[in-house]
Amino acid sequence: MPNYFALNRENLLNRRQLLKLGLVSAGVTGADVVWSRLTAQKQLVRVPPLETEGNFNSAVNPVQVLRNFDYGTLKQENGREIREFRLTARTSAIKLNSAVSYNIWDLNGRIPGPTLRAKQGDRVRILFFNKAGHSHSLHFHGVHPAEMDGVRPVSNGSATIYEFDAEPFGVHLYHCHIEPVTRHIAKGLYGMFIIDPPKPRPAADEIVLVMAGYDVNDDNHNEYYAFNGLPHYYMDNPIRIYQNQLIRLYVLNIIEFDPAVTFHLHANFFDVYPTGMTLTPSQKSDVVTMGVAERHILEFAFRYPGKYMFHPHQDAIAENGCMGLFEVVAEKDYQNPAQSVKP
């Protein structure tokens, strides 16, 4: 079968060229320092301390995915600021439970890949290194020139650069686009790409939830499902949030082999910002339907302390791993001062 997703020309760079690019680029600054320059003032929210960092010895780490954002590294080139990210594809094995292991392709040693984050209008550069034993690519959802569309195969041991202006603002994603695309995504080559609006959104406790499935016997049917990589993890380890604190969920459905799923939140309603591309909500609901690669911002606050479930309303998907709990901590039990967070 011909590879309709591959074009004739490749834009590949060898290791020496990539190292040269890194050496000639000036003005490298830590992301946590530079992002503060994008806003006039810091905003404060309350985020409960983690009770555990988790004990993970593989690419799957739901604790890391939850509130970890990669803002890249800023460089100055020819009078323009570049926000640079580095992504490396490799192979690894993860344990879905005590009895089942599964071979995946990971990005930077994790599944889902890093949550990349920029501001609308930023010049973004992604250095992609393929060390995964198979041709891969990275296709970014958004607006960019055709040569940056990520449909050309990058052979094993090679690298390439994707560079474009980050637009439009919203919740987007990136994933491998080499045939069979469904298999490459299902095996782990995907991640979230957040582009913040020019004017920051209100301060909130920001949380990433990526719904995915695992077809462990290659029958084009998922046997396991998960939020942020590991089935059932947030049922055993609830996500702690504070009472009356605005929560901003960045939710992505990347479950292949199932045409659509829903996301349901117990005992509450959320404001829906479709694809994160609006600054005002389009509706209020407690359930939203999402096709493959669909994503939204959902905002809410819990009025009462306690534990509340979230899950797809397709029972088989929820019961096979895509289910979790929010543990709402009472205001009287605040244990830490307000924390500075990046909008």
**pLDDT, tens digit, for every residue of 307-324?**
999 999 999 999 999 999
Q: Is the peptide bond before 312 cis (omega within 30 degrees of 0)?
A: no
Please check the confidence at residue 254 and state whether its pLDDT lies above 70.
yes
Q: Is pLDDT larger for residue 164 or for residue 4?
A: 164
Token pair in block for residue 227: 């939020």
Question: Measured between alpha carbons, how far is 73 from 242 in angstroms, rounded to an integer?
Answer: 31
Q: How far is CA 209 from CA 250, 323, 330, 341, in A?
A: 6, 11, 23, 18
Q: Is the pLDDT of residue 39 over 70?
A: no
User: How much is the average pLDDT of 271-282?
Assistant: 98
> Are 209 and 226 spatial neighbours (Cβ–Cβ below 8 Å)?
no
| Predicted local confidence at residue 225, as pLDDT | 98
pLDDT attached to residue 53? 62
Cβ 48 vs Cβ 98: under 8 Å: no
Neighbours of 263 (CB within 10 A): 25
**pLDDT exceeds cutoff 80 at 195:** yes
Distance, CA of 232 to CA of 227 (rounded, Å): 8
As a whole number of angstroms, the distance between CA 166 and CA 257 comes to 30
Interval 133-145: pLDDT, tens = 999 999 999 999 9
- Quickly state the pLDDT bin for 61 (edges 50, 70, 90): very high
| Distance (Å, whole) CA 226 – CA 172 | 19
Residues of the chain above pLDDT 70, percent: 83
Confidence tier at 36 by pLDDT (50, 70, 90)? very low
Q: Which two tokens stand for residue 20?
A: 């040269």
pLDDT of 338 strictly over 60? no
Strands 224-227 and 190-196: unpaired
Q: Are 194 and 171 in contact (CB under 8 A)?
A: yes
Report pLDDT digits (tens) over 84-96.
999 999 999 999 9
To the nearest whole number, what is the mean pLDDT of the chain?
A: 88
pLDDT at residue 333, as a whole number: 82
**The pTM is what?**
0.86
Least confident of 29-33, 190-194, 284-288: 29-33
Residue 56, burial from CB neighbour count under 10 angstroms (0-12, 13-18, 19+): middle
pLDDT in the model for residue 336: 53
The pLDDT assigned to 331 comes to 87
pLDDT for res 335 = 64
Predicted pLDDT at 51 = 65
Give mean pLDDT, residues 23-37: 40
Q: With helix as H, strand as E and coil as C, how does 37-99 read?
A: HHCCCCEEECCCCCCCCCCCCCCECHHHHHHCCECCEEEEECCEEEEEEEEEEEEEEEECCCC
Q: Supply 265's token pair.
A: 């939140």
Q: How far is CA 100 from CA 55, 111, 159, 288, 317, in A?
A: 18, 16, 32, 31, 17
Q: Which of 326, 340, 330, 321 is nearest to 102 (CA)?
A: 321
Q: Which residues of 180-215 are buried (b: 16+ CB within 10 A; e: fewer)?
A: ebebbbbbbbbbbbbbbbeeebebbbbbbbbbbbbb
